[in-house]
Amino acid sequence: MNRLLSVSMLSADFEQLGNSVDMVNKSEADWFHLDIMDGVFVPNISYGFPLVRAIAAKAKKPLDVHLMIVDPDRYLEAFKEAGAQLLSVHYEACTHLHRTLYRIRALGMKAGVVLNPHNPVELLNDIVQDADFVLLMSVNPGFGGQSFIEHTYNKITRLKEMIAKSGSAALIEVDGGVSQENAERLYAAGADILVAGNAVFSAGNPMQAIRQIKGIQ
């Protein structure tokens, strides 16, 4: 079982962004998680290409870019050029999801599909073989610091079984309300990658918080 951690930069202090990137570089974290919000697909606006490029210039670990936007197909090439190495799109935002995932892969990135909390994992039964990872939202997307939705554990287990039956090698990523308190149970349920932002950047010692979430003694 993988125990990867993607640190959500949405929770970082943007006035100290360079220091936050350096901290993640030096930490036991595996990826930088970047949430791209357009104010349409989700009720919030985050950041765009200039900030992605700025983080990519300093990052020594892969950029895990999560598109919470309408019509993401318009921007796949642009996010590749900005520095994304993993790119995930919402099931709910893609009319032709199969084509979108193949386009992401053709551009040389790992392709992920994201599922909102209200949707069952069974919707992905015919596409999971074509994804490198599946991102399960464990809060409603749009804002950091929300409470974890407990039903997520069951969804992880069902998705893990679906992936095994399909012969897919897709990893399971979980985003929203991840903390030191629930990380172990999430990994045990079958999650491979956890996304943590508030639990990291609100901690007195962010690097230690990362170790704790990953279960590193």
Residues with catalytic function: 35, 175
Number of Cβ within 10 Å of residue 189's Cβ equals 19
156's enclosing H/E stretch is helix 152-166
Q: Nearest Cα to 41, choosing from 72, 84, 6?
A: 72
Q: Which residues pair with 174 in a beta bridge?
A: 136, 194
- Calculate the dihedral angle through the C-alpha atoms of 79, 84, 85, 91, rounding to the nearest 10 degrees: -60
Q: How far apart are CA 125 and CA 165, in angstroms?
A: 10
How far apart CA 103 and CA 66 sit, in angstroms, is 16
